């Protein structure tokens, strides 16, 4: 199963950005962990990050064309980007929305995600473990991992 792990704005700053909220794991370490977890589960994992909305849209369109699964941390785009939401709505594979922090326990403007209503599932507040859980779920869905 092909899985795109896509990360939105500011996530490339993991490990240095608000470590009290996002932790000390660097983005490079997150990439390595996602690839290693994917390989262990028999998934073909591609990990990407961008601060450019148009680039994210292109990646989501490609995933839709491939019917690939997507693990998406849309970052701030979660709360207002109807363009990202509409691109997600085109996906033919499962979509797992992941947030490192618990968006419901933060500032009011972060409490709502325009992506969640079209996602297969949402994981938030479990730190970077949310990515591992999303990949495990996708592996079970695809039948490559034990139930």
Catalytic residue of the set 22, 27, 131, 137: 22
Encode 12-23: b = buried (16+ Cβ within 10 Å), e = exposed: bebeeeeeeebb
Whether residue 32 is annotated as binding a ligand: the answer is no
> Catalytic site residue 99?
yes
Whether residue 100 is annotated as binding a ligand: the answer is yes
Whether residue 101 is annotated as binding a ligand: the answer is yes
Whether residue 112 is annotated as binding a ligand: the answer is no
> Catalytic site residue 22?
yes
CA terminus-to-terminus distance, the chain: 16
Contact 49, 27 (CB under 8 A): yes
Catalytic residue of the set 4, 27, 99, 131: 99
Tell me the two tokens of residue 49: 């990050």
- Alpha-helical regions (H) of the chain: 19-22, 27-41, 53-66, 82-89, 129-142
Q: Report the binding-site residues for substrate.
A: 73, 79, 86, 100-101, 110
Q: Report the binding-site residues.
A: 73, 79, 86, 100-101, 110
Catalytic annotation, residues: 22, 99
């Amino acid at each position: 199963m092909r899985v795109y792990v896509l990360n939105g704005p500011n996530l490339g700053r993991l490990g240095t950005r608000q470590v009290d909220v996002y932790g000390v794991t660097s983005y490079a370490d997150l990439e390595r962990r996602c690839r290693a977890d994917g390989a262990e589960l028999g998934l073909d994992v591609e990990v990407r990050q961008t601060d450019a909305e148009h680039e994210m849209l292109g990646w989501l369109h490609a995933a839709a064309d491939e019917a690939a699964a997507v693990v998406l941390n849309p970052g701030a785009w979660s709360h207002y980007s109807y363009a990202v939401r509409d691109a997600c709505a085109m996906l033919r594979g499962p979509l797992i929305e992941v947030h490192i922090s618990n968006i419901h326990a933060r500032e009011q403007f972060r409490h709502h995600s325009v992506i969640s209503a079209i996602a297969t599932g949402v994981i938030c507040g479990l730190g970077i473990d949310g990515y591992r859980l999303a990949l495990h779920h996708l592996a079970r869905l695809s039948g490559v991992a034990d139930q």
